[in-house]
Amino acid sequence: MLFLQFAAAVVISWLGLLAGFILATMTKEELPTAKKYFPWLEKLVALAVAAFVMDFFSLSLVAKAAAYVVLLAFFIFSYNAKFVYAAFGAAVFAVSRNSSMLLITAALVFLFGLLSGSNSFKTNLRKRDMVKAAAKVLTDKLFYPAVAIMLFLAFSK
């Protein structure tokens, strides 16, 4: 896989945060209802990413079950989007040898970004503060492209 293809997949999937933020600016009246569901949907998408990555490596049933138990415990007791995005960066690199798996994983990260970007939107923002808030959303989750690209540059042939 070429670096530019990998970097494009990573950057486009990272921009899901911005797409979610912009979508939230257009649907302010729907956000109070939707914000109840965003954290659970984020967790489901993160579990889907984990499932695809584990399926890519053909782990045994026992290893998959143990990984799911650890992931579920992690999501039930604590949840930090910065660390989840860092894990996404490692996951995207791990499946980058297969372009179809890379695209599936990047698409799931994009969906996670849509949810996370929408969830981070504050309904009481003024129009002049929206650009700063969108930039903050993107820079807070900068771990994802940074980890993915550093791993690709360090370990790919």
Q: What is the pLDDT of residues 19-51, one digit of tens each?
A: 999 999 998 888 889 989 998 898 889 889 988
Taking only the tens place, the pLDDT of each residue in 52-97 is 898 898 888 888 888 888 888 877 776 777 888 999 999 999 999 9
Spans of all domains in the chain: 3-155
DSSP result, 119-139: HT--TT--GGGHHHHHHHHHH
> Of 10-14, 28-32, 115-119, where does mean pLDDT reach its minimum?
28-32
- Spatial CA neighbour of 35 closest among 106, 95, 118: 118
Q: Stretch 133-153: mean pLDDT, rounded?
A: 93
CA geometry: angle at 28 spanning 26 and 33, to 5°?
A: 130
